[in-house]
Amino acid sequence: MNPVSIDNNECLADIKSLTGEAFLTLDPDFVEHLLESVHSTPVVWKLTVDAHNDAAITKQVIGTQGYYLRLTTNNTKCYFIWHDRLANVFHFWGGHDEVKLAAGIISSRIRKIVFRNTPPMTVEL
């Protein structure tokens, strides 16, 4: 997982392009904080991680109304996390260490949910 650096204008264009109409429904305070964070630095780091191929697993990773993505965003100080349904990947924007931490947390959550949803193996003797 290696983040790539992008400038702040590319970051905002990327977020708006991927989120589409959903960007307009985001909490105005969150958007204001996002804009301040992105404009406070000339370089933003972006990281993309594959989502699970089972949509039900991915929905649990995201949580009801994006609960776990928002929680991870807040706890890691990442600028923004988004699941792209068409490409089936998670996108992370923020500081270098923050996007790596957030991606690790989401990857760990995927593994945890897969494990929890995997039926125990039976062994016949």
Give the residue extent of every domain in the chain.
4-113
What's the whole-model pTM score? 0.89
Q: Residue 3: name the closest of 68, 49, 38, 67 by CA.
A: 49
Q: What is the pLDDT of residues 96-113, one digit of tens each?
A: 999 999 999 999 999 999
Distance between CA atoms of residues 84 and 89, nearest Å:
5
CATH code, residues 4-113: 3.30.1370.10
The more confident residue out of 116 and 52 is 52
116 pLDDT above the threshold of 90: no
Q: What is the pLDDT of residues 41-100, one digit of tens each?
A: 889 999 999 999 999 999 999 999 999 999 999 999 999 999 999 999 999 999 999 999
Give the other-Cβ count within 10 Å of 107's Cβ. Answer: 17
119 pLDDT above the threshold of 80: no
